[in-house]
Amino acid sequence: MRRLSATACFESPIGSIQLRADETALLDVKILPARTSDAMTGAAAHPILSTALHQMAQWFNGERTHFDLPLVPLMGAEGQMLREAIAAIPYGETRSYGAVATSCGSIARAVGQACKTNAYPLIIPCHRVTSAAGPEYYSAGDGPRTKSWLLDFEYNHLPPEKRTRLL
């Protein structure tokens, strides 16, 4: 069992983002449904959290399209494969649950479960996984509203030549 060594909060346009780390990896990221506080505990002196906070600020400023942080590996090979497939979706693009499943030899339901249990929203961009038809779901922040904001934000920060979405 990994032991928490520090916690930090980052205030963002989608609410407070709580980051927790131990001495070797980021443990999890939580997008809280409403702004809670901007208190940071041990973040300034913690190298992983300091780097994570810097990368979050860059991402929300439109200066970063992916994260480079040490994450806790998943225990099972299938979970790790699904995490990698979700992480491979390019910034500003989306893939359906079925398309992600096909890309890694899994099933859409497993992709949905991987998104639901994703400990690293934004970093492992499960917001880029969308339903082929029907209502959207998102387990972080304010749910579908947060997912929509994140997708619009990424789209608006793409170079004009990469904006291919029909209005």
- CA distances for 163 relative to 10, 139, 160, angstroms: 29, 27, 5
Q: What are phi and psi of 90, to 5 degrees?
A: -65, 150
Query: DSSP letters along 65-112, please?
Result: SS----BPPPSSHHHHHHHHHHHTSPTT--EEHHHHHHHHT--HHHHH
Q: Give the residue numbers marked as catalytic.
A: 126
Global confidence as pTM:
0.88
* pLDDT of the chain, 167 residues: tens digit per residue: 678 789 999 999 999 999 999 999 999 999 987 655 555 545 667 999 999 999 999 999 999 999 999 999 988 999 999 999 999 999 999 999 999 999 999 999 999 999 999 999 999 999 999 998 766 788 888 888 999 999 999 999 988 887 776 55
For 77-162, CATH number?
1.10.10.10
Q: Where are the domains of the chain?
A: 6-60, 77-162
- CA distances for 154 relative to 39, 44, 80, 106, angstroms: 27, 28, 25, 27
